[in-house]
């Protein structure tokens, strides 16, 4: 396995907790590259950052979470952005604009995607993507119901949209490198266009 340099987040959020999380993530990514994902040691990662193993687990529930930090489980950023879109805006446009508000350094996102595809099995990646897809569908469904859409109709539309977004992410992740954020944007736009008729 090549020992490619890990891209660091140039402007980690302010605050001691955020700085600790960013440092743990950076060191963990480096350990994954140097030792492989399964052999990377949480105690060694924590020690290199000058914190305890318990502190690591306060920031990341598992090592996997380090490699999926760009896809937070609850997707608060997505929910907030979607709710801020005009209620009369076409749903596809609302989702597309909301996806653009993801709070992650794009270079870090590309590096994490590369490491995911190199270090984790496709099955492991798919399990997490399915979980995040479900979280996104829940957010879309809630917004649609708040806008007066029937529960079943809202549920179907939400699943279709989230499925399209994560289908694009899966194809991008599994594709040959280098991973390019612009390519992910194009794939996502194409996937959303393909489901327009179902909405």
pLDDT in tens, the chain (199 residues): 333 333 334 334 457 888 898 889 889 888 887 888 888 899 999 999 999 999 999 988 888 788 776 555 457 788 889 999 998 999 999 999 998 887 766 677 777 777 777 777 888 888 888 988 998 999 999 999 999 999 999 999 999 999 999 999 889 888 876 778 888 889 999 999 999 998 8
Q: What is the pLDDT of residue 40?
A: 87
Cα–Cα distance, 121 to 193 (Å, whole number): 29
Q: What is the pLDDT of residue 69?
A: 64
pTM for the predicted model, two decimal places: 0.71
- If you search the block for the tokens 């492991």, which residue do you land on? 124
Alpha helices in 85-180 (DSSP H): 91-99, 106-119, 122-146, 151-174
The C-alpha R_g of the chain, in whole angstroms, comes to 18
Q: What is the pLDDT of residue 65?
A: 80
**52-to-19, 42, 57, 64 alpha-carbon distances in Å:** 15, 9, 9, 18
Per the CB < 8 A criterion, the answer to whether 178 and 148 are in contact is no
Helix (H, G, I), strand (E, B) or coil at 45: helix
Q: Name which of 128, 131, 139 is nearest 68 in CA terms.
A: 128
Helix (H, G, I), strand (E, B) or coil at 82: helix
Report which secondary-structure segment, H or E, holds 37: none
Q: Name which of 112, 72, 106, 116 is nearest 182 in CA terms.
A: 106
Q: What is the pLDDT of residue 10?
A: 38
Q: What is the pLDDT of residue 61?
A: 84
Q: What is the pLDDT of residue 72?
A: 54
Quick one: how far is CA 1 from the chain centroid? 24
Cα–Cα distance, 18 to 59 (Å, whole number): 9
- Omega of the bond prior to 149 within 30 degrees of 0, cis? no
Per the CB < 8 A criterion, the answer to whether 89 and 146 are in contact is no
């Amino acid at each position: 396995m090549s020992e490619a340099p890990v891209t660091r987040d140039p402007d980690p959020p302010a605050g001691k907790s955020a700085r600790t999380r960013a440092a743990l993530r950076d060191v963990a990514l480096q350990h994954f590259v140097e030792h492989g994902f399964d052999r990377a040691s949480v105690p060694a990662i924590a020690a290199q950052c000058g914190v305890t193993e318990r502190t690591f687990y306060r920031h990341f529930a598992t090592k996997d979470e380090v490699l999926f930090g760009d896809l937070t489980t609850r997707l608060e950023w997505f929910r907030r952005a979607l709710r801020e879109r005009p209620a009369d805006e076409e749903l596809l446009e609302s989702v597309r604009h909301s996806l653009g508000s993801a709070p992650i350094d794009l270079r870090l996102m590309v590096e994490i995607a590369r490491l995911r595809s190199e270090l984790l099995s496709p099955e492991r990646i798919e399990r997490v993507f399915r979980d995040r897809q479900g979280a996104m569908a829940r957010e879309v469904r809630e917004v649609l119901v708040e806008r007066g859409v029937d529960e079943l109709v809202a549920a179907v539309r939400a699943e279709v949209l989230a499925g399209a977004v994560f289908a694009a992410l899966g194809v991008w992740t599994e594709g040959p490198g280098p991973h390019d954020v612009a390519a992910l944007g194009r794939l996502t736009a194409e996937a959303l266009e393909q489901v327009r008729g179902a909405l």
